[in-house]
Structure 1
């Protein structure tokens, strides 16, 4: 019997992470589902015949334990854990929200990649981060979130140069607006009305399954093919879809 390839997905309790875990399991991967909410990833792991590990990416010990649980060879790392908190202008922004976003989105992503690099190198694996078009352009009320996603993009750009002679591919997916399980709801502290308003007037926003399909596509590319950046926009803007691909 052929041993299954291993994929690790952080932030797998909901949204893009959960959908990505399902998409990779459908491709035959042994998926390690990681998130702070253990009950949710345990349920998911049972559904997809994967493994559940409780992990807060802002906790170094949690991240090290996740890497140990995943094993010495990891074929795919989906560094998805992140969040958006608050939408106030710079003049009135809650800087604690900004610190929280940088801690999760930037430091948490860097810590996760650090912990998994040896296992990824051993498997000739691929790192996939879930960025955002907010890491390319800014918008009113989004300075903190946009700043954190710009930082993730810079992190991946530097990492791509630093690993040029290593058998590890480095890819970022930068979606446009995605209608996800909880993303907007968490951003507005559980205010369902404010969360719903985010999508008003948006024609056919992306879904979490759209991004999961992109994750699975990248994971299955031949080793000699690399996608540096994939920008995924809503269907109404499909003509603006871009893939930066190198071989």
Structure 2
């Protein structure tokens, strides 16, 4: 068994703290297993572990430029210790799988993407049609798993009396007929609510773990300074004007971008208060 610990901290009492570092903004269930395997291996080689902790990104009280609390630490010793007795049997299970000469048979399902997409996803899912039961809107996984167990993947294979919501049934009927279903009255009603000039706005943003500008938190979105926004303005007579903004230096892009934005699109169309950052 090979592990690589993020942090092993020696205490004054002569034992060790195991600290796992994640870019996550919270503790997740899979983190407990990650640390449990590490602790198991360390204990097997005789290293006394007094506590196990998870260090993760603080998205609650950390704000740029004060990044001294970028990470927060949670003690997960109790949760990890509850899993430790199961680790040996899991290891034996993995060894048995690795020793097999035939590919293991396992139905596709939610586990293929959770907690992360499996590296064999493309191979295992290559037989799934492009339009399948997985494209039916809001079909819960319990129903999907039932259909998978029956070998039903294509929408054409669905039983005619299969229970679906009205929206799902509409989608399935559209696929089977190979024709889009167009809600012309609803579209017309929505278009009638529009007022000219109409702005078509494309905007780029970034949300890094380590914030770059004043009062931003980790993972909080902000305008990406190397990108531009593009705004097409359609007038009632059919004419179109183009507006754009490109931030070209390393300064905080928000003041200049917002100033340009409120020139190209009036504040009443933005539907928000123009911030005092201007």
Tell me the TM-score normalized by structure 2: 0.20
Q: Per residue, is there more helix in 1 or in 2?
A: 1
User: Comparing both chains, which one has the higher relative contact order based on Cα–Cα distances under 8 Å and sequence gaps of 6 or more?
Assistant: 1
